[in-house]
Amino acid sequence: MAIEILPLTKADIPAAVECIQKAFADDPYFHWVFNDPSGFNINRNAASLSAHFLYGLSCREPIYVAKSTVPATSDKSTAASVVGVCWWYNPHPLSHPVPWNVWAQDWLLSFRQLFNNIRFGGRGGLNVKRYWLWKERQQETHEKVWTDPRGYYFCNVLAVDSSMRGMGVGRKLVDVVTQRADEDGLPCYLESSKGFPNLVIYEKLGFELVSEIDCVDGGDECKLYCMIRQPIIKA
C-alpha cells in the first residue's frame, strides 16, 4: 500500500468530510460544541464542512489529502481512498486588511451556510452560543500569542483514519506545509482539544505549547491547547 499526499480537489470533498467526521467523533471540542447528541445531524455537519472546503479551495488555502493506493481486486488498476486530511489557512500579515477575494468568499460561505440552515431546518445540533464563546476566546488568544506580524500558517484540522495512525501519515501531511513555512521563514500555529496523545505528537512535529484556551459554559469546560512551530532556517 502506497501513501500519496495530494492537494484537495472538489472530487475529494465527500471522502475528506467523512475522514474528518470519523476522526473527530471522540474529540472533546466536538462534544462540547455539539453538546446534545440527539440534535446532531451528520448530513448538516457534512454540508457545513463541504462549504468550508469549497471556501478553502476558492481562497487557495493549503489543504491536502493522504490517499492510500491499493491494487484493485479484478484488474491491475489501482483504487485510491482518502485516509487523512490536513487543512491549513495561509498566513495573513496581521496589520493588512482582508484581501477582497477572501472577503467575497467569506460572504459566499455565509450564503451557503444560510442555505444549509434552510435546507436542514437549523444548524444540525451546533450550540451557537458555545461556538461564538470559543471564537471570542480564540480571538483573544491570537492577539496574545500571534506576535509575528507576518502571520502564521494555521493548521485548522489534521485527521488520519484510525486504522492508519502511528504509520507516519500525519507527519507526511504536516510536512508539506511546514516545509513551505520553513522556506518562507514563517511560523505555524494550531489548536487541539485533545491533550493526549496530541501534545506529544505535535511536539514531535516541532510544535511547542504556548497557551491554553478555556471555554466554560454552564459548568461544561473545553480546553484547547495552542501550539506554535518556529521555522527551521537552513544555513
Task: Write down the least CB distance from residue 165 to ligand COA, Å.
Answer: 3
Smallest separation (angstroms) from ligand COA to the CB of 47 = 21
Nearer to ligand COA (CB atom), residue 93 or residue 166: 166
Judged by CB, which is closer to ligand COA: 92, or 165?
165
CB 215 within 8 A of CB 222: yes
Q: How far is the CB of 200 from ligand COA (least distance, A)?
A: 4
For the CB of residue 101, give the shortest distance to ligand COA in the complex, in Å.
Answer: 26
Q: How far, in Å, CA of 88 to CA of 47, rounded?
A: 19
How far does CA 18 lie from the centroid of its chain? Answer: 13
C-alpha to C-alpha distance for 227 and 208, rounded to whole angstroms:
5
The 3-class SS string of 30-70 reads: HHHHCCCHHHCCHHHHHHHHHHHHHHHHHCCCCEEEEEEEE
Which cell goes with 223?
480546553
Q: Which is nearer to ligand COA, 146 or 225 (CB)?
A: 225
Nearest approach in angstroms of CB 16 to ligand COA is 13
**What is the number of the residue whose Cβ is closest to ligand COA?**
170
Q: Which is nearer to ligand COA, 159 or 215 (CB)?
A: 159
Least distance from ligand COA to the Cβ atom of residue 70, Å: 17
Judged by beta carbon, residue 146 or residue 207, the one nearer ligand COA is 207
Q: Distance (Å, rounded) from C-alpha 19 to C-alpha 186?
A: 29
| Residue number, 126 or 155, with CB nearest to ligand COA | 155
DSSP, residue by residue, 82-129: EEEEEEEE----TTSPPPHHHHHHHHHHHHHHHHHHHHHTSSTT--HH
Query: Which residues in this chain contact ligand COA in the complex, by CB under 6 A?
Result: 23-24, 27, 157-160, 165-171, 192, 194, 197-198, 200-201, 204
3-state secondary structure of 148: coil
